Amino acid sequence: MADNELMGKVRSSALKFKGSKKKKHKKKRKKEGDHDGASASTDLRHGVWWPAKTMEHLTGNMLIESYVQAYLWAVDDGSMTIGHPWVDDVEDNGPSPEQIITVVHVSENRVALKTAYGRYVSVDESGRVTAREEAMGPRELWQPIVTEDGTTFLRSASKLYLTAPGEPGGVVHARSDSISDEGVAFRFHSCGTRQKKKKAGEYEIEGGSLVNMEENFARKFQSYQDGHWKISSEDKRALKEARVTGTLHETLLDRRAKLKADRYCK
């Protein structure tokens, strides 16, 4: 066999010395909240606005995106409309102030929507939606219904759903009575600090008020259904006595068992 043929079959490698250790290549761990290439461009809006997919995420400054990928827009005359569809542009300067809606939690399952003009989004008897009120009342309260994929429906006090038009500049209204109607589905985007979702066993049960204590116990076993947690309406004095006698968990479990709301109860 010719010398050049032999040389072609020899594998070249780095010189190894006696006692030298093999270098280990460390894998870089992705920080929590990092996105894979494809999902980063589809999930984020304007580089920093991430999709809010739970009731706990619906707080602070938000972008409310309609089914045509256009944001709700507050006009200076108090009317509510939608802008042009969002486009992933390299020269993106972020959303306009008129597109930023502040979500204010009023109760466990009710929120108010405040525009950049300091006015609350309201609905009248005819289903017309405006943002002219400086203070909130029953007409300014909305019930968010969040599905598993993050789609959110906003139910008004009249039990009708906020509905966005299909064309830019169209009028927003609340006259739909079904979540299957066109225009009632929205997606919320937040620029706040993303909170790590707590696991079922991480909610503190002891401490705080008796109402919060029973709600945290419900969070441990329930999923968020129908826009609220299912909590016993029995007298809270029994919980106070149970906390003193050291039988708090047993009492909470008995109260949950009566509701028949989850499979963990006896």
Q: What is the pLDDT of residues 158-214, one digit of tens each?
A: 999 999 998 888 999 999 999 999 999 999 999 987 666 555 444 444 445 555 666
Average pLDDT over residues 239-255: 73
Q: Which of 70-79, 104-113, 137-146, 230-239 bottoms out in mean pLDDT, i.e. has the lowest?
A: 230-239
Q: Report the C-alpha gap between 131 and 134 in whole angstroms.
A: 9
CA distance 266 to 258: 9
- pLDDT score of 39 more than 80: no
Mean pLDDT of 141-148: 94
Which residues does 242 contact at the CB level (< 8 Å), separation at least 6?
248, 250, 251, 252
C-alpha distance from residue 147 to each of 31, 55, 185, 188, 224 (Å): 27, 10, 10, 12, 10
Stated as kind and residue range, the H or E segment containing 112 is strand 111-114
B/e letters for 160-177, b = 16+ CB within 10 Å, e = fewer, are bbbbbbeeeebebbbbbe
Beta-sheet pairing, 100-105 with 60-65: antiparallel
Which pLDDT band holds residue 260 (cuts at 50, 70, 90)?
Answer: low
Q: Which of left, alpha, beta for 132 (phi over 0: left; psi -120 to 50: alpha)? A: alpha
User: What pLDDT, on a 0 to 100 scale, did the predictor assign at position 57?
Assistant: 92
**Which pair of structure tokens corresponds to residue 257?**
């068992």
Gap between the terminal Cα atoms of the chain: 82
pLDDT, residue 236, reads 66
3 has a pLDDT exceeding 90: no
Assess whether pLDDT exceeds 70 at residue 35. Answer: no
pLDDT of residue 93: 76
Instruction: Collect all residues with Cβ–Cβ distance below 8 Å to 156 and sequence separation of at least 6.
Output: 123, 139, 142, 143, 162, 174
Mean pLDDT for the chain overall: 77
Structure-derived torsion over alpha carbons of residues 92, 94, 95, 97, reported in degrees to the nearest 10:
-140
Structure tokens given for 84: 């042009």
Q: Which two tokens stand for residue 115?
A: 């525009």
Q: When comparing pLDDT for 240 and 225, which is higher?
A: 240
Pairing type for strands 60-65 and 187-190 reads: antiparallel
Average pLDDT over residues 131-151: 93
Alpha carbon distance 230, 217 (integer Å): 10
CA distance 132 to 91: 33
Residues in the chain: 266
Q: What is the pLDDT of residue 172?
A: 95
Alpha helices per DSSP H over the chain: 3-9, 37-43, 210-221, 237-245, 248-259
Reported as a single tens digit per residue, the pLDDT across 64-76 is 999 999 999 999 9
User: pLDDT tier at 31 (50, 70, 90 boundaries)?
Assistant: very low
pLDDT of residue 155: 96
Token digits for 119?
A: 């006015």
Q: How far apart are CA 180 and CA 78, in angstroms?
A: 28
Q: Is pLDDT of 38 > 60?
A: no
Above pLDDT 90, what percent of the chain?
44
Identify the pLDDT of residue 45. Answer: 84
Backbone angles phi, psi at 29, to 5 degrees: -85, 135
**pLDDT score for 205:** 46
- Percent of residues, the chain, with pLDDT higher than 70: 62
User: Residue 94: pLDDT band by 50, 70, 90 thresholds?
Assistant: confident
pLDDT band at 37 (very low <50, low <70, confident <90, very high): very low
**Where is average pLDDT lowest: 9-18, 128-137, 224-233?**
9-18
* Range 30-59 average pLDDT: 69
pLDDT of residue 47: 82
What is the DSSP secondary structure assignment for residue 214, as one 8-state letter?
Answer: H
